Structure 1
Amino acid sequence: MTFMAILQSGINELLEYLSAHVLTCLVPAFFIAGGIAAVVSTGAVLKYFGPRAPKHLAYGVASVSGAILAVCSCTVLPLFVGIHKKGAGLGPAVTFLFSGPAINILAIVLTARKMGWELGLARAIGAVVFSIVIGLLMAFIFRKEEAASGDDGGMFEGEEGKPIGHLLAFFGTLVAILLFGTAAIPFWSKIAIIMALLSFLAVVLTQWYDGDEVKEWLTETWKFVKLIFPILLVGVFVAGVLKAVIPQHWIEVSVGGNSLSANLLASVFGALMYFSTLTEVPIVKAFLDMGMGKGPALALLLAGPSLSLPNMLVVRNVMGTKRTIVYVLIVVVLATVTGMAFGSITG
């Protein structure tokens, strides 16, 4: 394999991605993520982790916080440290730690778009269920070591956010634009529907959002584009290079099919590797094209975004070595079992 052939493989993958996914998939998703950052109050969400919050509420909010807060594997760490030290309790804090990067709205949308709705849906459901199970197991295993919860010092009080109806109208319209933009419907029908949705969005913004909020939304969207898009393009290019460099039979032998060893290897690989935001999607897609089984692919997608060696080092400083080892083992075991179950179902 010559250098030019390897380079051409990366370029071809990049061109295919840009033509097929950017306009109809990523652009609406970036606007949704920017809206989350701009109009959803972080404090209004995080205050529900406090020791005075009911357990079902704390775990419930923590498990979907990734979609609400749009955090990535790097930004989740200081938030995790903050809520844990301020009295959130080990269980809800660990639930948040896993869920934050795992259910990133951009990652779920891109997974479904690139690898099929079954894998995207399985990743979303798996991330939510995983996060709750992991948090409950950690709280149970270390229940004797958990100090009695004290007062949270009014953590994150004073932020209520916008009315739920205003948020539903705003985000519902953006999600509808994303869904119709990627739907297999006639071109002019798609254009007419999207134009109608954009008109409705303009009414929503005019009636319920002031100029500063709209400006902040656009600013946050642009921040996501600058932060994520260049890294994502690098990831897509690397995925194309991997297709040319890695022998296909290696993938088929190592993580092909749906064996225990294939799913375990994918889970361990995902846990140790560091993936920048969204780069796991094109890389896993490349592995799928080369013969990776759907079960191992899901196992990697569940273990990868929430764990990495740098992530483990930071978590160890907060929770200690023993708890970190148990946390990593739980993630790897659950990812392996879930991957095998998904592989059996999708066959």
Structure 2
Amino acid sequence: MNEQTQLSSHIPSSNRKRWIAGAIIFIIAAIIGLYWVKWHPYYGKALNAVTTHSVGSSIISGGHSKTPEPSWSAAWQYSVAYFQSIWKAFVVGLILASLIQVLIPRDWFRRVLGKTTYGSTVIAGLSALPGMMCTCCTAPLVVGMRKQASSVSAAAAFWFGNTALNPAVLVFMFFVLGWKFTVLRLIFGIIIVFGLSYLAGRIAKEQDQPLEIIQKTANNNNDDPKGRLPIRWLKNLGSIVLTTLPIYIISVFVLGAFRAWLFPIVGGDWGNGILAIIIFAIAGTLFVIPTAGEIPIVQAFMAMGLGTGPAAALAITLPVISLPSMLMVRRALSWRTLIFLGISIMILGIISGLIGMFFL
């Protein structure tokens, strides 16, 4: 029995009109939520970037000349600044992730995003573009997608499409960092979303496939719903909150405390060298920032003497993935897949840094 036959055995008949109504409700909720936290605020932010060539101060240094030394105070200050910046988007991400599981039938999801074909990867990547969320705010949606039988490649493409190809960030970057940084980000974003994501799906083992995720969450069969919609939605929302929020808060706190070790002050001869590129590519892959936070971070570090090579590595790696986001999706994607994605993005960051060292 092949995988699609097995999946079909898990999907009972459903009421088409009910699911169409559910899909409409989900779309309306997504539009309202994204307008509130992304579309409306980013319009004003774009206008500000055009006139001032800035989108704020670096969240890492907080506008100071150097990053705070490791301490409880540094951890607390970063955590407060970070969560104040992202909490609205995170709430929207949680709500949409839970609504996916009760309003969208798993059979529909499997047919569009559950296949291992390249088409599913492209659809997922393109559908992510209006979201424009950071890697951690997108993580609950990745969990919800996997519970709905999304393939590994589609989940990864949606995850990275929100960050690497964020249209608003590309606009901000153009007016703040210039067209060369923007073109570099666009090229590597396309490689990550439509290339790396598909490759991750191809190398994923059996435990990464939709059937295994469904079996682990068998009580969440929304194609044969039992109980009232509000109760099922609250159960799904509570499950996502419990499995993502605690590890999210703890990991952000730890990274905030030790950010001075991850981002040393560099300058002079090695401020644009290969060693600096590797260090900042690793740091950018692990660290967590709000949406568009990489732009003022790069701007601030370059003002401190950082070269264009390490700056390019940060511009590629910082927004795409982070240690907290990987921990949040650990039950939806295997560690094998997450390690592959993390190392691959780190390598792409190093390559972009080498390009940036000579051409930016």
TM-score range, shorter chain: 0.5 to 0.7
Structure 1's 314 and 252: CA in aligned 2 closer, same or farther, altered over 3 A?
Answer: farther
Task: Within 5 Å, give how 1:6-45 maps onto structure 2.
Answer: 21=49
The equivalent residue for 1:267 is: 281
1:256 and 2:265 are equivalent in the alignment:
no
Structure 1's 128 and 49: CA in aligned 2 closer, same or farther, altered over 3 A?
Answer: farther
The equivalent residue for 1:339 is: 353
Does the CA-based 8 Å contact 2:316-2:349 persist in structure 1?
Answer: yes
Does the CA-based 8 Å contact 1:255-1:266 persist in structure 2?
Answer: no
- Equivalent position amino acid for 1:256 in 2: N
Does the CA-based 8 Å contact 1:70-1:100 persist in structure 2?
Answer: yes
The equivalent residue for 2:121 is: 59
Question: What RMSD, in angstroms, separates the aligned Cα atoms of the two structures?
Answer: 4.0
CA offset at residue 270 of structure 1?
0.7
Distance (Å, rounded) in 2 between the aligned partners of 1:49 and 1:72: 26
CA offset at residue 281 of structure 1?
0.7
**The one of 200, 212, 216 aligned to 1:138:** 200
Structure 1's 120 and 85: CA in aligned 2 closer, same or farther, altered over 3 A?
Answer: same
- Equivalent position amino acid for 1:306 in 2: V
The equivalent residue for 1:109 is: 171
Identify unmatched segments of 5+ residues in structure 1.
1-16, 28-36, 156-241
Q: How many residues align?
A: 225
CA offset at residue 22 of structure 1?
6.3
The secondary structure found in structure 1 opposite 2:149 is coil
The equivalent residue for 2:318 is: 304
Q: Which runs of 4+ in 1 moved over 6 A?
A: 17-20, 24-27, 46-49, 152-155
Distance (Å, rounded) in 1 between the aligned partners of 2:167 and 2:278: 26
Distance (Å, rounded) in 2 between the aligned partners of 1:63 and 1:80: 12
Does the CA-based 8 Å contact 1:270-1:300 persist in structure 2?
Answer: yes
Does the CA-based 8 Å contact 2:282-2:346 persist in structure 1?
Answer: yes
- Equivalent position amino acid for 1:21 in 2: A
Distance (Å, rounded) in 2 between the aligned partners of 1:331 and 1:293: 20
Task: Within 5 Å, give how 1:1-347 maps onto structure 2.
Answer: 21=49, 50-53=109-112, 55-147=117-209, 250-257=266-273, 259=274, 261-344=275-358, 346=359
Distance (Å, rounded) in 2 between the aligned partners of 1:100 and 1:286: 24
Does the CA-based 8 Å contact 2:46-2:168 persist in structure 1?
Answer: no
The equivalent residue for 2:4 is: none
Does the CA-based 8 Å contact 1:255-1:265 persist in structure 2?
Answer: no
Identity in percent = 25
CA offset at residue 314 of structure 1?
0.6
Distance (Å, rounded) in 2 between the aligned partners of 1:100 and 1:19: 21
The equivalent residue for 2:82 is: none
CA offset at residue 140 of structure 1?
2.2
Structure 1's 94 and 109: CA in aligned 2 closer, same or farther, altered over 3 A?
Answer: same
Does the CA-based 8 Å contact 2:164-2:192 persist in structure 1?
Answer: no
Identify unmatched segments of 5+ residues in structure 2.
1-44, 56-91, 93-98, 215-220, 224-259
- Equivalent position amino acid for 1:278 in 2: A
Does the CA-based 8 Å contact 2:272-2:357 persist in structure 1?
Answer: no
Distance (Å, rounded) in 2 between the aligned partners of 1:74 and 1:327: 15
**TM-score, structure 2 normalization:** 0.52
